[in-house]
Copies of this chain bind each other. A is one copy, B any other.
C-alpha cells in the first residue's frame, strides 16, 4: 500500500512554515525548500528537477516523495514559505514605531525595495510562480490572498493621511501596482544603483497621490 505512506509522513506545508516542529524531518523539509528556492532562481522552474535538488541539498532522491507527496507539493511549500517570509517582514514594518501615515507609506516603499534587494531568490520564485499562474491554480490563489491584504493595509494608510475612502482605495491599488513593477525591474536587472532611483520615484508617487489632501 503506497498510499498509507502519506499518512505516516508528517510532512505538511504548515509544519515547515511554523518551524515549531523541531523534529529531524522538519529540518530536512526546510533544507528541501531551501534547495527549491535556490534552484528556481538559478535554473528556472523548468531546470528545477529532483536530481538538481538532491545535488544542492545533498539529500537523496526518495526524501522528496517521503516528506512532501510529490514535487509539486514541494514547490507549493516553497512558495508558501516565500509568502510567509514576506508577510513576516511586512508585519514587522507596519508594527514599527507609530509615525504619521505619510511617513508610514514612505517606509512601505523602502521596505519592499529592501526586501527585493535582500531576497532576490525569493523574488525569483515569486515571479516564476506568477509566470505559470494561468496554468497552475495554486500559484494564482496564493498570490491573490497576499495582494488583498496588502492593498487593504495601504488603503488604511492613505485614509489616515487624509484621503477619503474611495480615493484611498484607488491610491492603494495604484501604489501596489507600481511596487510590483519595481519588483519586476529589480528581478530582471539586479542593478544595485537602481534601488535608490526607484526609492525616490516611489516617494514622489506617494507625495503626488497625497497632494490633493495636503
Number of A residues with CB within 8 Å of any CB on chain B: 48
Give every chain B residue within 8 A of A202 (Cβ-Cβ): 174
Residue contact B187 to A133, C-beta cutoff 8 Å: yes
Residues of B near A179 (CB, < 8 A) are 177, 181
In chain A, residues 120-152, which have Cβ atoms closer than 8 Å to a Cβ of chain B? 120, 124, 127-136, 140, 143-144, 147
Determine the main DSSP class of A at the interface with B.
helix
| Closest chain B residue, CB of each to CB of A180 | B181
Each complex incorporates copies of this chain amounting to 2
In angstroms, Cα B180 to Cα A165, docked, is: 25
Collect the chain B residues with CB atoms within 8 Å of residue A174's CB: 178, 201-202, 204-205
CB-CB nearest 10 A-B residue pairs: A131-B131, A177-B181, A44-B135, A44-B132, A180-B181, A208-B208, A128-B131, A181-B181, A178-B178, A127-B131
Interface residues in chain A, defined as those with a beta carbon under 8 Å from any beta carbon in chain B: 41-47, 120, 124, 127-136, 140, 143-144, 147, 170, 173-174, 176-182, 184-185, 187-189, 197-198, 200-202, 204-205, 208-209, 211
